[in-house]
């Protein structure tokens, strides 16, 4: 077998990320097309997020116990059938039901992929940083395609969206069964030598603190990112642009995510260095500044771009410290990580929707962002001082 950089499970991550954003943006675009209030759109996303969190916490650790591939085989088969419901959307209740089912699947799917990659690649000598970097690149490139095309396809060609979900899920279930029969829970993969070069060692006695701080920071910064993704189709349409084109502006968020992953994956000076890590978070104040700028298509794109970077910086830190586990609990840690993502995509659209509705515009979202900025700054300053104090004592 030839040595390679990516493998089958990165392809799954990429293709299902496309599907995730196709379906999520479809729900929010249809809600905007139907003229639903911002608060109702936020509630739909909140209901979906609760489902995502439940699945992540329920099934994350089950993969460690029973096998990630086994859960993936079953989940993809069920989800293929579930996608048929998308052809019959006609009421708000159906949007709620689909959002709950969609998020329950992805709350199951991503912790299993994360746990499988981190556990099995470590067993064959892949550096944990390389594992995380390639995983984030695989799903973030998929997000760009899904977000850009989601609103356009659901308005013009909805059968493509749901047909893709049905075909992808059933094909993936079949391939997963074949792979499991041949290789069990291991990954059939010979990594190139560059993936085995170790990164900077992590101080494991302190890793619990790193996880808590960066998961909290991820949650706070991700609130604006998720609000942008879910609410901007309606905001953009209210400013005279077609809903079907909104994805091509909002995709800036996913481009920002990808750019950040490429930079932080290439330059790892932030590893175990809270001061450097805090400097990279300067992108969040830029997001806040842009929200208060006069609205135009360019500003919509730039807000999305910087919101994506603001989310991706602490995401990188949180998943890196989370999946660097010495306790054989990668699935459990992946479940915790995805539960945070679920909370972001529940609370962000809900609070953002209420804020925009009260202020009758993006000013409400800007005020919300200012409060979050103060909280993030407080957490990071406290963390840097705490780590520095420990280093001085030592």
What pLDDT score does 265 carry? 85
What pLDDT score does 128 carry? 82
Regions of the chain where pLDDT drops below 50: 392-394
Rounded Cα distance between 357 and 364, Å, is 8
What pLDDT score does 201 carry? 65
Helix axes 207-238, 252-266, angle to 10 degrees: 150
Strand partners for 4: 191
Locus of tokens 């479809």:
26
What pLDDT score does 394 carry? 46
Residue 97: burial class (beta carbons within 10 Å; 0-12, 13-18, 19+): middle
Instruction: Please list, in sequence order, all residues whose beta carbon lies within 8 angstroms of the beta carbon of residue 116, skipping any fewer than 6 positions away.
Output: 9, 63, 68, 69, 72, 185, 187, 330
What pLDDT score does 329 carry? 64
What pLDDT score does 327 carry? 62
Locus of tokens 């909104």:
246
What pLDDT score does 324 carry? 77
Note whether 115 and 218 are within 8 A (CB). Answer: no
What pLDDT score does 364 carry? 94
């Amino acid at each position: 077998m030839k040595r390679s950089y990516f493998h089958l499970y990165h392809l799954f991550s990429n293709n299902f990320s496309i599907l995730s954003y196709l379906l999520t943006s479809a729900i929010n675009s249809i809600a905007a097309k139907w003229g639903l209030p911002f608060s109702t759109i936020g509630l739909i996303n909140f209901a979906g997020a609760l489902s995502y969190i439940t699945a992540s916490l329920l099934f994350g650790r089950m993969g460690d116990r029973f096998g990630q591939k086994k859960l993936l085989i079953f989940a993809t088969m069920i989800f293929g059938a579930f996608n048929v419901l998308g052809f019959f959307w006609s009421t708000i209740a159906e949007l709620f039901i689909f959002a709950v089912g969609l998020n329950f699947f992805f709350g199951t799917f991503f912790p299993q992929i994360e746990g499988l990659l981190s556990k099995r690649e470590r067993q064959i000598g892949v550096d944990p940083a390389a594992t995380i970097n390639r995983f984030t690149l695989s799903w973030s490139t998929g997000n760009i395609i899904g977000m850009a095309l989601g609103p356009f396809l659901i308005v013009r060609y909805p059968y493509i969206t749901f047909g893709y979900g049905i075909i992808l899920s059933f094909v993936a279930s079949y391939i997963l069964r074949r792979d499991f029969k041949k290789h069990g829970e291991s990954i059939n993969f010979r990594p190139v030598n560059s993936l085995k070069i170790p990164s900077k060692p992590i101080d494991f006695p302190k890793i619990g603190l790193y996880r808590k701080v960066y998961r909290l920071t991820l949650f706070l910064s991700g609130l604006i990112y998720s609000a942008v993704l879910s609410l901007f189709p309606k905001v953009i349409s209210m400013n005279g642009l077609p809903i079907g084109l909104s994805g091509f502006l909002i995709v800036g968020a996913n481009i920002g995510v990808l750019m950040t992953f490429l930079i932080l994956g290439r330059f790892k000076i932030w590893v175990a260095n809270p001061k450097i890590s805090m400097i990279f978070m300067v992108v969040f104040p830029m997001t806040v500044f842009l929200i208060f700028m006069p609205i135009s298509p360019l500003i919509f794109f730039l807000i999305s771009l910087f919101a994506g970077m603001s989310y991706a910086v602490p995401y990188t830190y949180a998943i890196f410290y989370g999946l660097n586990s010495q306790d054989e609990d990668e699935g459990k840690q992946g479940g915790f990580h995805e539960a945070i993502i679920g909370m972001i995509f529940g609370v962000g659209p809900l609070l953002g929707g209420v804020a925009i509705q009260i202020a009758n515009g993006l000013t409400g979202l800007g005020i919300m962002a200012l409060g979050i900025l103060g909280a993030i700054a407080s957490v990071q300053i406290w963390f840097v001082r705490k780590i520095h104090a420990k280093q001085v004592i030592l």
